[in-house]
Structure 1
Amino acid sequence: MNVRPTIAITCGEPAGIGPEIALRAAWELRAKTRSVLIGDSAFLSMTAGDIDPAIRLVALSPQAVRNSGLPHLSVEQIAVIDVPLAAPVAPGRLDARNGRAVLQTLDLAIEGALAGWFDAIVTAPLQKSTINDAGVPFTGHTEYLAEKTGTPQVVMMLAGGTPLLRVALATTHLALKDVPAAITFDSLSRTIDIVHTDLRRKFGLPNPRILVTGLNPHAGEGGYLGREEIDVITPVLQAAQAKGIDVAGPYPADTLFQPKYLERADCVLAMYHDQGLPVLKYASFGHGVNITLGLPIIRTSVDHGTALDLAAAGLGRADHGSMIEAINVAAQMAATSSRTP
């Protein structure tokens, strides 16, 4: 891996804050990270000029990178792989005509990471509705990355706060009514294996300790409030423990997130999206990092959305702290992965 890790940054929804926070973070971290932006180079150059005239962007075509690789640029230059938009950008206003270009930036990042152009990818927030309105069914970054890399199962994990809190999810973007059926012995077993493996390989934790929530209030209260803990979750944990994985639970989610438990944990595995993430986001919003575990590549992202209202109000109102953290975590994961067999 390069001394300065090469990180691809997709700029996300052009009408949102993604382009601004990507530019600000890439420029701020230029001495320690070789960032490669993926987006409309003309639009990014115009935005960069409004942010700081000192920012120097060098536009590259995707085909030139495929043919010759990434050029060697000075620390004071940032490469942009050009993906032209189909329509002009009005900050704060979505335009479905740009949906396919947004998706193309993600495709290029995945291609480059698999081909070795990049050590990791970081994604700015996109607007799912814009891509769907462009005629492409799209659930979210996590599911799309799994599909495009041929990964049967991935795990969403967010990290942030002081002290550091990591929360992984057994299910992601599902309606609440569909969650119980999705928590099966096989899927939950694979989730625990993925979390354990990536905490070791990509975070350098030799024997990570994972605490697992129950699904139901009070973790089912002995079956009176649901049997998923008895029928599925506990047998999965027993099987994982038999393989040598340091996992414990199921704990009631309303009492697990307190220091006496968390100080002994490297990660909490929650059963569904809004069970674990409100706690994590309360502790770290604006500086948290979204991480996709189980992929053959490294991917992190910000912990927030497109913030169309901030984009409409003009540059300088968006906080790029989460993007800074996402790039730093991606670089650390890349360095750890290069050292861990």
Structure 2
Amino acid sequence: MPGALAVSLGDPAGVGPELICEAWASRHTHALPPFFAVGGADLLAAAAKARGLSIPVRRIADPAEAGSAFAEALPVLGDRDGPYRPGEPDREGARLALASLTMAAELAKHGSATGLVTGPIAKARLAEVGFAHPGQTEFVAEACGIAAEDAVMLLAGPNLRTVPITVHCALSRVPGLLSVDLIQARAAITAHGLRRDFGIASPRLAVCALNPHGGEGGKFGNEEARIIAPAIAALREAGIDATGPHSADALFAPHARDEYDVAICMYHDQALIPLKALDFDNGVNMTLGLPIVRTSPDHGTAFGIAGKRQASPGAMIAAIRMAGEAAALRAGAGSAPR
């Protein structure tokens, strides 16, 4: 497929730059699609050296050059750069991270890149330089003209896919945020995303209960009967294969995972704990509901191990591979297993 993915640096003091370099170094082993980094050519060269990698870095003037450059060097677009100081985040690095993210999102939005892979950021540092969003998901959604509530976070790994209905909020607020409409809307976006970006013709959605034992007939809460079950009924009425409410304490057992394609979870940790327990080094955060493909490794900046050759490249490699597969499916040039 023509074109290449745009990869934003993430915080330059974190593990993002070295993992971008590691992904390029293992591009043949993992059959990765062409990609280019946005900004930080000198920084990436320094990160590669700290990682013990001997890789060429080539500046490109146009995303169209990335495909031909990719075979011989890590392509880098743009002149923005900065010093490589692993484990020492600062405002200068945050400004570079934000500039890289902004340009990469625009390139994907306008079709100059086939998709977007975002490196891990430090939200507190970005807030200091004017970043007003809860995270990159909301930033990319706004850049694409999509309301934040219509952008759905999918966590995906080799063993499991999960979607949290509520995301970054206090656990005490979750029951009040849940509604039939919210669950129905986000589950429908998920089903569409699995068809479009994963090639799953008839996605199977397992919807989690909120309370222990599914509420135990109302003894431990009534959200299952009052909100979750009606949402599942509405999804089934719309032709979506949704089941539940399932007690979350049993839904992630090996034999249970064979019965669904994605678990629809009611809150952040209900979705992320099983995903990270099963697929920590290969977990991908993918945003569904966007006009572009966007993925990210499902881990943070890991400042404490940045530059120490300890960070696993698995999630970055998986994020690049998943973005490439989804972009190929959207272009009608590829297929994906169920």
User: TM-score with structure 1 length normalisation?
Assistant: 0.90
Q: Distance in 2 between matches of 1:32 and 1:306?
A: 22
Confirm or deny: 8 A CA contact 1:83 1:104 kept in the other structure: no
Q: Distance in 2 between matches of 1:71 and 1:281?
A: 33
Tell me the residue number matched to 1:36: 36
Aligned partner of 1:79: which letter?
A: P
Quick one: structure 1 residues 115 and 175, their matched pair in 2 at CA, closer, same or farther if it must change by over 3 Å?
same
Distance in 1 of aligned mates of 2:232 and 2:146: 23
CA 1:53–1:279: 2 relative to 1, 3 Å: closer
- In structure 2, the CA distance between the partners of 1:131 and 1:317, relative to structure 1 (3 Å rule), is same
Q: What is aligned with 1:319?
A: 312
Aligned partner (choices 41, 62, 65) of residue 62 of structure 2? 65
Rounded to whole Å, the distance in 2 between the matches of 1:39 and 1:293 is 26
User: What do residues 10-54 of structure 1 show as CA deviations (whole Å, max 9, x unaligned)?
Assistant: 111111111000111023216642110113222112323444664
Q: Quote the Cα distance in structure 2 between the aligned partners of 1:268 and 1:71.
A: 36
Query: What are the equivalent positions in structure 2 for 1:253-272 lying under 5 Å apart?
Result: 253-272=248-267
Q: Distance in 1 between matches of 2:24 and 2:84?
A: 21
Find the partner of 1:18 among 6, 16, 19.
16
Choose from 242, 246, 262 the match for 1:251: 246
1:180 aligned residue (175, 178, 198): 175
1:240 paired with 2:235, answer yes
The aligned amino acid for 1:256 is L
Aligned-partner SS, 1:14: coil
Corresponding position: 1:295 with 2:290: yes
2:322 counterpart of 1:329: yes
Please state how far the C-alpha of 1:224 moved relative to its aligned partner: 2.1
Counterpart-to-counterpart distance in 2, 1:302 and 1:124: 7
| SS at 1:339 equivalent | coil
**Relative to structure 2, which stretch is displaced further, 237-246 or 31-40?**
31-40
Moved more, 120-129 or 98-107: 98-107
CA distance in 2, matches of 1:93, 1:50: 15
Within 5 Å, give how 1:87-126 maps onto structure 2: 88-126=83-121
The correspondence for 2:196, drawn from 194, 197, 201, is: 201
CA distance in 2, matches of 1:90, 1:56: 20
TM-score between the two structures when normalised by the length of structure 2 = 0.91
CA distance in 2, matches of 1:254, 1:214: 10
Q: Name which of 201, 215, 221 aligns with 2:216.
A: 221
1:236-293 Cα offsets, whole Å, 9 max, x none, are 1101101110000111111211233211111111111111211111111111111111
Match of 2:73 among 71, 77, 90: 77
Q: Which amino acid aligns with 1:275?
A: Q
Match of 1:37, SS state, is strand
Contact map agreement 1:20 1:315 (CA 8 A) in 2:
no
1:82 CA displacement: 2.7
Aligned pair count? Answer: 330
Query: Match of 2:75, SS?
Result: strand
CA distance in 1, matches of 2:290, 2:324: 16
**How many angstroms apart in 1 are the aligned matches of 2:115 and 2:323?**
6
Identity %: 38
**Cα 1:117–1:197 shift into 2, 3 Å:** same
Note the C-alpha offset of 1:191: 0.4
Does residue 51 of structure 2 align to residue 55 of structure 1?
A: no
Query: What is the Cα deviation at residue 134 of structure 1?
Result: 2.1
Question: Alpha-carbon deviation of 1:327?
Answer: 1.0
Deviation sequence 1:156-205 (CA, Å, 0-9, x none): 111114xx211111111111122222212222111011011011111101
Question: 1:255 is matched by which residue type in structure 2?
Answer: A
Give the alignment of 1:139-218 within 5 angstroms.
Answer: 139-152=134-147, 153-161=150-158, 164-218=159-213
Aligned-residue offset at 1:95: 0.4
CA distance in 1, matches of 2:301, 2:52: 22
Once the two structures are superposed, residues 118-160 of structure 1 have per-residue CA deviations (whole angstroms, 9 ceiling, x without a partner) of 1111112111111012233231111211222121211111111
Distance verdict in 2 for CA 1:55–1:178, change over 3 Å: same
- For the residues of structure 2 that align with 1:255 and 1:48, how far apart are their CA atoms? 43
What is the rounded CA distance, in whole Å, between the counterparts of 2:33 and 2:67 in structure 1?
15
SS of 2:217's partner is helix
Q: Output the aligned Cα RMSD.
A: 2.1
- Counterpart in the other structure of 2:336: none
Change (3 A) 1:20 1:69: closer
SS of corresponding position for 2:127: helix
Question: Which of the residues 1, 4, 7 maps onto 1:6?
Answer: 4
